[in-house]
Chain A
Amino acid sequence: MGQNVFAPWTDPAAEPLIRFQNVTKRFGSFVAIDDLTLDIYEQEFFALLGPSGCGKTTLMRMLAGFENASEGRIELAGQDIDGIPPNKRAVNMMFQSYALFPHLSVWDNIAFGLRRDRMAKAEIDARVDEMLKLTRLESFARRKPHQISGGQRQRVALARSLAKAPKLLLLDEPLGALDKKLRQETQFELMDIQEKTGTTFVIVTHDQEEAMTVASRVAVMDHGRIIQVATPEEIYEGPNSVYVADFIGDVNLIEGRATASGEDGYSIEWAAGQPPLSAQSKRPFTDAQRCHLAVRPEKVAISHDRPEADNAVEGRVLDIAYLGNISTYHVELPSGLVIKAQAANTRRIARRDITWEDTVWLSWSASAAVMLAD
């Protein structure tokens, strides 16, 4: 590609905008954030993914200034932010609950932060109108929050947090209540804003597709810890653990024991009486080490005849899920394991030749699978 790729995290000289150093947050004896270390760089679009209750909101609230770390240090632009009140931070947050002021109109909600900055009235008017246009709320400006729909409220919350053009914007599930089309449009809008303003975004989302679309990097969290931080491609193609592989997207997991065979190559004993599977891994595995092989369904080919491939297994079609553009085949192997394979429906009718109860071959290349230690 030749052009300058945006990847400050690969540059050891780059100064992060946000730096979490061994941060722990306890609520009583409950550990919500557990010894977390993380750098986020300026102009990043950083996505936090993880199951409910894993500490995403807590992490955001520490950045916004509503919670103090129990241990460790949080830096914003090189400055320790411990004890700095929320109104003194160049950070704005969009709340998961929106937190719109019920006694103020949509217009006044958006203008609220600008007024605190003692901006000139004409400037405020212009800025609010700009935000209304961006979020397509022009016709609702005079309404109170209880007079608009859930999705519209979410857009008001978004507009209000964007209005001040903060250095760091925290978005806690900003697009959850929007329909798919509006969500996609808003995602691109956000990316556009981010490119234009250079604002750093940290976004919490339950929607992996969203994280993949908008984020420069994704962090997968679990129980207050960060399991993996990487670009969307890396995290999808090269998850570092079974947890991440399983959490991001659909995946087939095959358990087995690894034996080295050639450079970076391993053969994996996975079922009695079956030929071993071959896979590659940059991470070293000792002989007979237990491992999981993670293969994405779209990397598994399905056919009637045995193909020429690094790995091929035979099974019986259990179920076919037709998803429009693709179909997912659930194939049961003799060992009882069910493997999913995806095929694009390029012809109008899904691959008619493969149907329920058929005996089929599944195949994938050695480089398609990722080897993961337990």
Chain B
Amino acid sequence: MRRWVLIAVPYLWLLALFLVPFVIVFKISLSDVALARPPYIPQFSWDDGIWAFLRELDFENYIFLTTDSLYWKAYLSSLKIAVFSTFLTLLVGYPIAYGMARAPEEWRPTLMMLVILPFWTSFLIRVYSWMGILSQEGYLNQILMWTGIISTPLTILNTNTAVYVGIVYTYLPFMILPIYAALDRLDGSLIEAAEDLGCSRFQAFWLVTFPLSRNGVIAGSFLVFIPALGEFVIPSILGGSKTLMIGKVLWEEFFSNRDWPVASAVAVVLLLILVVPIVLFQRNQQRQAEAEQ
């Protein structure tokens, strides 16, 4: 009995927080838009019965998604931005994690603190403050002009560049922490053995350090890629009118067009796209856990 309860708790949790909302969203995506409250039909009523209700549902909205090029362009553009910003985050995050793992033991808790510290303030405020840095008369342009590197201010805000900056900045800790964990576990004598057997420092890094931190790199990349793909706040605040991301499209469908069924269809497709990397991520985690036993 107790065992049964223990097993049931996580499943109930999943059911309540994932499956039920998903079913609701999926149901809406099969409905039709209407001037009503809530703005879609059919509405389930006990009088008509379940069959009458189900008969009204169809896949019209999904077909609509394929007819309007906006949607698949937005998906593709989101994928591109997510892949590229994950790569950028890796480029920035790896050296930081490496430096942390190499730092003297007594510094490490402080460095770790510095990485986590941004989470103590609101995500929204932090993204907004980037506007003050990246805008035409922002701090970045002021510094660049003051040092004489440029003479006319750069346009960064409201471009894809600003979105990349925002994503890399926001998700950097998710990249650093798993890589740091992998590098921290690395036995220093392995590097010495590699050098002893004829590797230069650089070769030892590529042949030993990097392969042994691979699981951290994979975990970090997924932790950045998955939320970046559906990111809505960063492209809305920092991106321009040309920045096309599915999260933004979704928001507009819901709140500007009040077309809940199409918005739901967009969300369901996004989820299906995310399922692939999430499953891959889980598999990587599992393999790592097995290798450690």
Contacts and interface: CB of A to CB of B under 8 A. Distances in A.
Contacts of B195: 65, 85-87
Interface in B185-217: 187, 189-190, 192-200, 203, 207-208, 211-212
Contacts, number: 54
| Chain B interface main SS type | helix
Given A66-B192, A99-B192, A103-B211, A112 B187 contact: no
Contact of B192 (A95, A100, A117): A95
B284 to A, nearest CB: 15
Given A86-B192, A95-B192, A116-B203, A102 B212 contact: yes
A61 to B, nearest CB: 8
Interface in A325-360: none
Given A66-B192, A86-B192, A99 B187 contact: yes
B199 A101 contact: no
> Which residue, B187, B195, B198, B291, has most C-beta atoms of chain A within 10 A?
B198
Nearest to A112: B197
A369 interface: no
Contact of B196 (A87, A97, A101, A102): A87
B190 A86 contact: no
A100 B208 CA distance: 11
A233 B207 CA distance: 46
Given A86-B192, A99-B193, A117 B198 contact: yes
A257 interface: no
Interface in A60-119: 64-66, 85-87, 91-93, 95, 97, 99-103, 112-113, 116-117
A29 to B, nearest CB: 17
Interface in B3-62: none
A119 B62 CA distance: 59
Interface residues of A, number: 23
Contact of B190 (A92, A99, A160): A99
Contacts of A101: 190, 193-194, 208
B196 A93 contact: yes
Contacts of B197: 87, 92, 112-113, 116, 160, 164
A91 B199 CA distance: 13
Interface in B204-251: 207-208, 211-212
Nearest to B214: A103
Contact of B200 (A65, A87, A97): A87
Interface in B161-199: 187, 189-190, 192-199
B183 to A, nearest CB: 14
> Which residue, B189, B194, B197, B208, has most C-beta atoms of chain A within 10 A?
B197
B196 A112 contact: no
Contact of B199 (A95, A99, A116): A116
A97 B188 CA distance: 11
Contacts of B199: 87, 116
Contacts of A116: 197-199, 203
A129 to B, nearest CB: 18
A86 B212 CA distance: 21
Nearest to A118: B198
B54 to A, nearest CB: 53
A113 B194 CA distance: 8
Nearest to A163: B197
Given A99-B189, A101-B190, A101-B208, A64 B196 contact: yes
A146 B212 CA distance: 14
A83 to B, nearest CB: 14
A101 B197 CA distance: 12
A46 to B, nearest CB: 19
A57 to B, nearest CB: 11
Contacts of B207: 112
A86 B190 CA distance: 13
B203 A103 contact: no
Contacts of B208: 101
B162 to A, nearest CB: 39
Contacts of A86: 192, 195-196
B198 A97 contact: no
Nearest to B195: A86
Contacts of A164: 197-198
Given A66-B192, A101-B194, A116-B199, 6 more contacts: A86-B196, A87-B195, A87-B200, A99-B187, A99-B192, A112-B207
Interface of A: 64-66, 85-87, 91-93, 95, 97, 99-103, 112-113, 116-117, 146, 160, 164
* Closest CB pairs A-B (n = 5): A116-B198, A113-B197, A99-B193, A99-B189, A86-B195
20 contacts: A66-B192, A85-B195, A86-B192, A87-B195, A87-B198, A87-B199, A92-B196, A95-B192, A99-B189, A99-B190, A99-B192, A103-B212, A112-B194, A112-B197, A113-B197, A113-B198, A116-B197, A116-B199, A116-B203, A164-B197
